[in-house]
Amino acid sequence: MIKDIKTALLLFLVLAVMTGLIYPLAMTGIGQVVFPHQANGSLIRQRGHVVGSSLIGQYFREPQYFWSRPSATSPVPYNGAGSGASNLGPNNPVLARHVAARIKTLKAADPAEKGPVPVDLVTSSASGLDPDISIAAALYQVPRIAQAGGIDIVTLRHMVQQNTTEPLLGFIGEPVVNVVKLDLALHDRYAAAHEATVSPTKGPPS
């Protein structure tokens, strides 16, 4: 028995060092050398500043941007330091109230749109950090953005397409549109247009 306890203690220490220190630190070393972009969070940089991660969604509420899915993180939506879901059951009246309110907000932002709203746009994701929306949810928002942002529909549809990921082999994953990258592209367009109107001497108006 005493011998067993001694063996157990020694073996535990050896295996703990191997699996708890050597293994994760070696993986960190390899990750930092071989996949530095991914291992550090797939960060997007502009002019030396980190403006987000292509894997972590951001919150958008202005009509000229594509809106992400509702997020249940606290204290603010899309809190990248946490993650969280609503955990509301499918028959919970609170869920029905939330969804009804979200549908109302979407309709108010674009009164011309009469069709039913794609469901992922009015339900909160599991992580609260979902960077994607479905293609249906992106196309649903195109008319609103065209009007609010002054970009024609064909260009917008093209931008959506450029930021779409198709499922692997047709069945692994779902077709999705990355809202962070898409809105960043929109943001750059708006910034360029803004610069052009503010100082027209610097370049031709777009």
Query: Site residues for other proteins, window 92-131 (CB under 8 A)?
Result: 92-93, 95-96, 99-100, 103, 115-120, 122-131
Stretch of 75-83, 144-152, 154-162, 192-200 lying at the interface with other proteins (CB under 8 A): 75-83
* C-alpha 133: how far from chain center: 8
The one among 172, 199, 201, 205 contacting other proteins by CB under 8 A: 172
Closer to other proteins by CB, 154 or 185: give it. Answer: 185
- Residue 95 C-beta: closest distance to other proteins, Å: 6
51 CB neighbour count, 10 Å cutoff:
13
- Size of the chain, expressed as the number of residues it contains: 206
Query: At residue 20, what are phi and psi to the nearest 5 degrees?
Result: -105, -20
Say whether residue 184 binds other proteins (CB under 8 A).
yes
Q: Tell me which H or E stretch contains 159.
A: helix 153-162
Say whether residue 61 binds other proteins (CB under 8 A).
yes
Instruction: Report CA-CA distances (Å) from 170 to 82, 173, 175.
Output: 32, 8, 9
Tell me which residues in 143-162 interact with other proteins (CB under 8 A): none
